[in-house]
C-alpha cells in the first residue's frame, strides 16, 4: 500500500484542482485573457472541467486509498500531471505566468508531478500485489473499457501528431481553431485518460472498474456542461466533424452512467 504522505499529497492536489477548476470553469470569460497561454473562453471552461474532474477523482482516490481499488485512477492522475507539465515546458516560450490563475495552474501541475514521484517511489518500494476480490467483470464490461480506450486513444494520437492546418484542426473536430500549444494539451489529457483505462481491459475485479468510472465521471459531466454552455460555437451543419468531439462524451458517458446506476460505485463490492 502507498504511504500516508502520498495520500495527503493526493488530498492536497484535490484541493488545488478544485480551486483552479472553479475559477476556470465558472469565470471562463474573465479568466481566458489572463490564462497561462492564449485560449478562448470555451477552451478555458473545458480546461476548468478537467480540473474539477481531477479534483473529484483525486478526492475519491485519497478517500478510498486502497491500491487494488484505485490504481487506474492514480495512473491517470500521475500521467496527467507529468504530461501536462511537459507540454508547458515544451511551449515555455509561449507561457505567460503574469496572473495568479496562471501561476495556480503551473503550481498545481508541479505538485501533481511531485505527488506522482513520491507515489511511484512508494509503489516500487512496497510493490503492492494484485488481488482478486468481490464480483468479477463480465465480457461486456471489458468491451466497454476497450471501446473507451480506442475512442479516447485515437483522439490522443490525433492531437499528439496533428499540426495546425491539418484536417480537423481548423474547427473541424474541436469547434474552434487551436494553437499547437492547446492541441498538445488536449492530446495529453486524452492520453492520460487512455493510460488510466488500459488496465481495465484485463481487470477481473468489478469493483476496480466501477470505482474508476465513478471517480472519473465528473470529467464527463463538467466537460459536457462546457459543451452545452458554448453550444453556439459549434456548426454541426457545415462542419459535421464537430459531432466527433461533442458526441464522444455522450457515447462514453451514457453507458458508463447506466452501469454505475445498475452496479454501484465500486466501494460496496470492495
Query: What does the pLDDT look like over 35-87, one tens digit per residue?
Result: 999 999 999 999 999 999 999 999 999 999 999 999 999 999 999 999 999 99
pLDDT in tens, 245-257: 888 888 888 989 9
pLDDT at 123: 87
What average pLDDT score do residues 111-124 get?
94
Domain boundaries, the chain: 4-263
Mean pLDDT of 229-256: 90
Q: In this model, does residue 131 exceed pLDDT 80?
A: no
**3-class secondary structure per residue, the chain:** CCCHHHHHHHHHHHHHHHHHHHHHHHCHHHHHHHCCCCCCHHHHHHHHHHHHHHHHHHHHHHHHCCHHHHHHHHHHHHHHHHHHHHHHHHCHHHCCCCCHHHHHHHHHHHHHHHHHHHHHHHHHHHCCCCCCCCCECCHHHHHHHHHHHHHHHHHHHHHHHCCCCCCCCECCCCCCECCHHHHHHHHHHHHHHHHHHHHHHCCCEHHHHHHHHHHHHHHHHHHHHHHHHCHHHCCCCCCCCHHHHHHHHHHHHHHHHHHHHHHCCCCCCC
Spatial CA neighbour of 196 closest among 207, 204, 188: 188
Whole-model pTM: value is 0.94
Name which of 193, 209, 192 is nearest 68 in CA terms: 209
Residue 270 binned pLDDT confidence (cut-offs 50, 70, 90): very low
- Is pLDDT above 80 for 177? yes
| 231 vs 250: CA distance, rounded Å | 14
87-116 pLDDT tens trace: 999 999 999 999 999 999 999 999 999 999
Judged against a pLDDT cut of 60, whether residue 196 lies above it is answered with yes
Distances (CA, A) of 219 to 196, 216, 270: 13, 6, 23
CA–CA distance, 236 with 242 (Å, rounded to integer): 6
Q: Measure the CA–CA gap between 91 and 125, rounded to whole angstroms.
A: 34
- What average pLDDT score do residues 172-177 get? 88
- Residue 268 — very low, low, confident or very high, per pLDDT cuts 50/70/90? low
pLDDT band at 218 (very low <50, low <70, confident <90, very high): very high
The model's confidence at residue 269, banded by pLDDT at 50, 70 and 90, is: very low
pLDDT at 146: 94
Looking at residue 151, its pLDDT comes to: 87
Would you mind telling me the total number of residues written for the chain in this entry? Answer: 270
What pLDDT is stored for residue 201 in this prediction? 95
Amino acid at each position: 500500500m502507498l504511504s500516508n504522505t502520498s495520500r495527503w499529497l493526493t488530498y492536497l492536489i484535490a484541493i488545488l484542482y478544485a480551486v483552479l477548476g472553479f475559477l476556470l470553469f465558472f469565470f471562463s470569460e474573465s479568466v481566458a485573457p489572463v490564462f497561462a497561454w492564449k485560449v478562448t473562453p470555451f477552451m478555458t471552461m473545458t480546461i476548468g472541467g478537467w480540473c474539477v474532474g481531477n479534483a473529484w477523482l483525486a478526492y475519491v482516490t485519497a478517500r478510498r486509498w486502497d491500491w487494488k481499488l484505485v490504481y487506474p485512477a492514480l495512473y491517470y492522475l500521475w500521467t496527467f500531471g507529468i504530461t501536462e507539465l511537459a507540454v508547458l515546458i515544451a511551449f515555455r516560450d509561449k507561457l505567460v505566468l503574469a496572473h495568479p490563475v496562471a501561476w495556480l495552474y503551473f503550481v498545481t501541475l508541479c505538485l501533481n508531478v511531485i505527488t506522482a514521484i513520491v507515489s511511484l517511489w512508494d509503489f516500487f518500494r512496497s510493490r503492492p500485489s494484485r488481488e482478486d476480490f468481490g464480483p468479477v467483470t463480465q465480457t461486456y464490461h471489458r468491451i466497454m473499457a476497450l471501446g473507451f480506450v480506442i475512442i479516447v486513444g485515437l483522439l490522443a494520437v490525433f492531437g499528439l501528431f496533428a499540426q495546425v492546418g491539418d484536417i480537423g484542426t481548423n474547427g473541424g473536430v474541436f469547434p474552434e481553431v487551436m494553437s499547437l500549444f492547446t492541441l498538445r494539451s488536449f492530446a495529453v489529457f486524452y492520453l492520460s485518460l487512455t493510460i488510466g483505462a488500459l488496465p481495465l481491459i484485463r481487470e477481473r475485479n468489478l469493483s476496480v472498474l466501477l470505482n474508476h468510472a465513478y471517480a472519473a465521471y465528473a470529467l464527463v459531466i463538467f466537460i459536457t456542461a462546457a459543451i452545452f454552455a458554448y453550444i453556439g460555437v459549434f456548426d454541426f451543419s457545415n462542419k459535421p466533424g464537430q459531432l466527433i468531439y461533442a458526441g464522444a462524451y455522450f457515447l462514453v458517458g451514457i453507458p458508463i452512467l447506466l452501469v454505475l446506476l445498475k452496479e454501484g460505485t465500486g466501494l460496496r463490492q470492495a
